[in-house]
Amino acid sequence: MTYEERYGEYQEAIEAYLDGLFTAQKPYSQLYEAIRYSILGGGKRIRPVLTLEFARLGGINWRLALPFACALELVHNYSLIHDDLPCMDDDDLRRGKPTTHKAYGETLAILAGDALQPEAFRLILEAPALSGEHKLDAMRVLLNACGADGMVAGQVLDTLCPIENTEQLRHMEELKTGCMIAAAAELGCAASGMNAGMRNLAVQYAKDLGLAFQIRDDMLDVEGDAAVFGKPIGSDKEEGKFTFVDALGIEGCRAEVARLTEEAKSVVRHWADSDFLVTLADKLAGRVH
């Protein structure tokens, strides 16, 4: 199976799973509508794809890991809803369409984000065909990634603390973005019961990938196309944020993305079936949105 075929198969399964959520008729149906607006809003689904691929590499039918993969996607989308709010980044566009608070109002957007986080853990707990041990493992992984010492800590550093040098910037991005990408890989390991040695390598691959992803994101905020990027270009500079472009320059960023990508690939290249992960790293390094 080619990289494109496998990615497409993963994406199709993820979209179908997410589309089956929050469909019941309720007196508070506007909440479900706002949630579905967010989770079905497009995107490449990089994080859940990582979960499914590492589950496959761990030796199980990757479809069994869909609840874990989509649990992480619910948490990711809750974070995007809240990140876009006026009290945070105050963004009007996400993936080329109005942000959730622009489409449904701030109150419902906040509540949709609030609901998505516990619903994510429900998906893990109710995952069929996976053992209680694997579910507890997955709960620990996701809780650590999105809690007070993970993604939320990164958001605090990003919005409330001065970021003035490269070391502070790296630390903030490791928490805000890197934790969730590393968790995506580790959730696949948890689903499949992957051995500790391979699991450590999976997490290292994802950490390298995550930092390269964020540096590339900062580059795109300077040199990207708004129509492709799905949000205004130059928003970081407008907000006065210190980014990797400020720290390293465009060419320095390009070199660091290349270095991290090669490092990520080297971590898994000796695996018997690493072609997908190697190609994914290259695709993300060269992405235009």
Nearest by Cα to 77 from 35, 33, 108: 35
Fold of 3-283: Farnesyl Diphosphate Synthase (1.10.600)
Find the range with the poorest average confidence among 18-22, 124-128, 182-186, 233-237: 233-237
* Measured distance CA(127)–CA(17) in Å, rounded: 12
Mean pLDDT across the chain? 93
pLDDT tens sequence across 202-220 = 999 999 999 999 999 999 9
| Domain residue extents for the chain | 3-283
| pTM higher than the cut 0.85 | yes
82 pLDDT more than 80? yes
- Give the mean model confidence (pLDDT) for residues 164-179: 95
